[in-house]
């Protein structure tokens, strides 16, 4: 095991969750990989990885899987896979309920750090407006999902310094590429779409996540993360 305790990854079956799990294991950090239906993910189990059933919108479930010595949690859950899914089953309050459940459940379990994966759509463009407000850049059909994600960020912010959970949201500042190589480098920004940032690999997004767990530098804020950085990961 690495220099920190184990982490719990909500949404471990998705692309970001799998990348975070792989980066954690690369560093010798044990992972509890949380999914709604473990039987659907027989490939998740590995040395140092325990697969657990959990619901990120239920504080009792969050507290139950996060207890037992975990030092941090990662929120990489999405109820929406793409516009082809449609919006009939999309809960507009999903990310709000997840924010509340994570802050309350992790707090009760004594887990003090939460790293959430954000959404490019609510970064601010050059005109100061969220990207999702520009139909020429962001597909209007995905706007309901973007609004739901933004509501979750707003809930994290509205709870401010309440409680013992120190959260940060890392928002990819442009494209994410699943097959791109891990470079160990990335660049962190702020609320606006970064200028000149390159496409970020999921592997390097995971590097940024683990860095913020091992050495927390941003606290109760949302920041962008892109590739092409001069910052070296471990």
Instruction: List the CATH code of the domain at 73-232.
Output: 3.40.50.720
pLDDT grade for 118, boundaries at 50, 70 and 90 = very high
Nearest to residue 206, comparing CAs of 229, 231, 172? 172
Mean pLDDT of 150-169: 94
Which tokens in the block code for residue 138? Answer: 């962001």
Q: Is residue 114 pLDDT above 50, yes or no?
A: yes
Torsion, Cα of 94, 69, 20, 54 (10° steps)? -30
pLDDT at 36: 94
For the chain, percent of residues with pLDDT exceeding 70: 91
Distance CA 90, CA 159 (A): 24
Distance CA 222, CA 61 (A): 25
Token pair 């896979």 in the structure block, residue: 81
Mean pLDDT of 160-171: 92
pLDDT at 136: 86
- CA separation, residue 35 to residues 17, 66, 68, 120, 168 (Å): 10, 13, 18, 24, 21
Q: Is residue 231 pLDDT above 60, yes or no?
A: no
Q: Is residue 17 pLDDT above 70, yes or no?
A: yes
pLDDT at 230: 44
Q: Is residue 222 pLDDT above 70, yes or no?
A: yes
pLDDT grade for 229, boundaries at 50, 70 and 90 = very low
pLDDT at 172: 95
Is the model more confident about 33 or about 90? 33
pLDDT tens for each residue of 40-65: 999 999 999 999 999 999 999 999 99
pLDDT grade for 68, boundaries at 50, 70 and 90 = confident
What's the angle, vertex CA 186, arms to CA 184 and CA 187, rounded to 5? 155
Mean pLDDT of 124-129: 92
pLDDT at 87: 60
């Amino acid at each position: 095991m690495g220099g920190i305790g184990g982490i719990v990854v909500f949404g471990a079956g998705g692309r970001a969750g799998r990348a975070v799990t792989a980066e954690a294991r690369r560093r010798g950090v044990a992972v509890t990989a949380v999914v709604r239906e473990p039987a659907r993910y027989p490939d998740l189990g590995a040395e140092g990885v325990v697969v657990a059933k959990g619901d990120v919108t239920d504080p009792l479930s969050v507290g139950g899987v996060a207890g037992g010595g975990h030092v941090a949690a990662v929120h990489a859950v999405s109820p929406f896979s793409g516009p082809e899914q449609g919006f009939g089953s999309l809960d507009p309050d999903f990310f709000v309920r997840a924010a509340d459940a994570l802050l309350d459940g992790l707090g009760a379990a004594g887990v003090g750090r939460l790293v959430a994966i954000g959404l490019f759509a609510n970064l601010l463009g050059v005109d100061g407006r969220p990207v999702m407000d520009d139909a020429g850049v962001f597909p209007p059909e995905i706007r309901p999902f973007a609004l739901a994600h933004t509501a979750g960020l707003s809930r994290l912010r509205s709870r401010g310094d309440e409680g013992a959970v120190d959260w940060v949201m890392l928002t990819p500042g442009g494209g994410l590429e699943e097959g791109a190589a891990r470079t160990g480098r990335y660049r962190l920004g702020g609320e606006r779409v970064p200028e000149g940032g390159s496409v970020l690999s999921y592997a390097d997004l995971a590097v940024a996540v683990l860095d913020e767990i091992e050495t927390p530098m941003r606290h109760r804020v949302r920041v962008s993360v892109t590739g092409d950085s001069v910052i070296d990961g471990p």
